[in-house]
Amino acid sequence: MKNDLNLRLPPVLISIIGVIHLIVTLGCASNATRAPRAPSEPARIDACGFDTSGVKAFLAIADELMRNQEPSEQAWATLEDTPGYAALLKEEFPRHHFRQAFRVALMPSKEAELRAALESGTIRYLDHYVRARDHLENIRRAEAGMTTSNGCAVPLAVKAADEYLPAPSQPREPPPVAMVIFGPDGRGYAPIVVDTLFAQEMRADALTRFLGHEFHHFYRNLLTPRLRPKCVDGADAEILWALNQLQAEGVADQVNVRTDLEAGGPLPNHLRAYLSWMGETPSRLERLQSLVLDASHAGSAPDDLRRAIREVLPRSGHPNGYYMARLVLEVLGKERLVAHVGNPIAFVRDYQEAARSRRGPRTEFVFSEQFEGYLKRLEALIDSCRDREEQR
């Protein structure tokens, strides 16, 4: 559920999503084997006015690749120009990613290359594309069902996101949502990008919270000041990315992950890993501080710093940001947490205050004066980089 570092995000004209209701009927995904399994009992997913051009383009590409035929350049361009894939390629994935990955996952003649790539992990989300290959007919039926009528999850998702956002001057309009096949996740870009195969496995309440998480990113992006391109660069840009991720994911995870963690009962593997990383937050923040101070004093190559930060903050900051946001929520209250949505430096300062004020057996990590000094310098740089024209 990656958040766009929207400090670079261009302005977005939010359109009102129409009241088109649907039922998406899909089966559960299989494992990454060449022969597809029979689908299990289908799940119902309520959605509303979603753009499905990316799913249509994917299915057209998949039909060609499954026949061991190379799709035309026009077919690839059609896929890459759909709103969902265009956002993914602009913000995150290299231009060649989907072409390479879909060929390897879907063409029978590339079986040996597929096995090698799955073993090496060189192609991101490749196992997910194999699962999509094994359930093309389910995806096709889902796309065809987008014109039928049923209850809509979007208003409830907007309400869920609103719980952790400053009160708007008028009701928020739902953001546009694009359905694609890209990976087992969603993205808070503009439009919101949701993977059809991933969404099919959710219960209706889980889908609502998941959309609420991504909607929170979208609305938060609109609250975050726009910066002039490349004004914050080098090590400062990498550090700002880390702080932004901690707040963006940490607060958005209160919308959906908090419910899963507090539900009781056995946790799935990905949440057990999440809890483990969350428990390591004090030591991981201390390591992040060391990286920041070393970079600010001695200088660090941005690529090296980027890799080091991503090792210190697993899952792009989700579990450690959740820990920080939850501490602010418990000690300073929801009003404080919400007041600074869109301002990652204020979020870190709120965490500092909460960590110092915390009473109890657990000792919280508190950033040093040197780190606070760096935050002041970064804050001044950000203020000087604000796009004043955008604020008019």
Q: Where are the alpha helices (DSSP H) in 42-107?
A: 53-66, 73-81, 83-91, 97-106
Per-residue pLDDT, 41: 36
Q: Which residue has the higher pLDDT, 256 or 36?
A: 256
Mean pLDDT in residue range 32-40: 34
DSSP summary character for residue 313: S
The amino acid at residue 185 is D
pLDDT tens-place string over residues 378-392: 999 999 998 764 544
Identify whether the C-beta of residue 274 lies closer than 8 Å to the C-beta of residue 256.
Answer: no
Mean pLDDT in residue range 59-84: 98
Give Cα 277 to chain centroid, integer Å. 18
pLDDT tens-place string over residues 209-262: 999 999 999 999 999 988 888 899 999 999 999 999 999 999 999 999 999 899
* % residues pLDDT > 70 (the chain): 84
Q: Which two tokens stand for residue 19?
A: 């009241």
Mean pLDDT in residue range 364-381: 96
Helix and strand totals (H; E) in the chain: 19, 5
DSSP summary character for residue 372: H
Per residue in 224-263, is it b (16+ CB within 10 Å) or e — as a string? bbbbeeeebeebbbbbbbbbbbbbbbbbbbbbbbbeebee
- Residue count of the chain, please give it: 392
In angstroms, rounded to a whole number, what is the distance separating the alpha carbons of residues 283 and 30? 38
In angstroms, rounded to a whole number, what is the distance separating the alpha carbons of residues 341 and 162? 11
Map residue 67 onto helix, strand or coil: coil
pLDDT bracket for residue 146 (50, 70, 90): low
Q: Which two tokens stand for residue 365?
A: 């990590």
Per-residue pLDDT, 90: 96
Output the 3-class SS for 295-308. Answer: HHHCCCCHHHHHHH
> What does pTM read for this prediction?
0.82
In angstroms, rounded to a whole number, what is the distance separating the alpha carbons of residues 70 and 76? 10
**pLDDT, the chain, mean:** 86
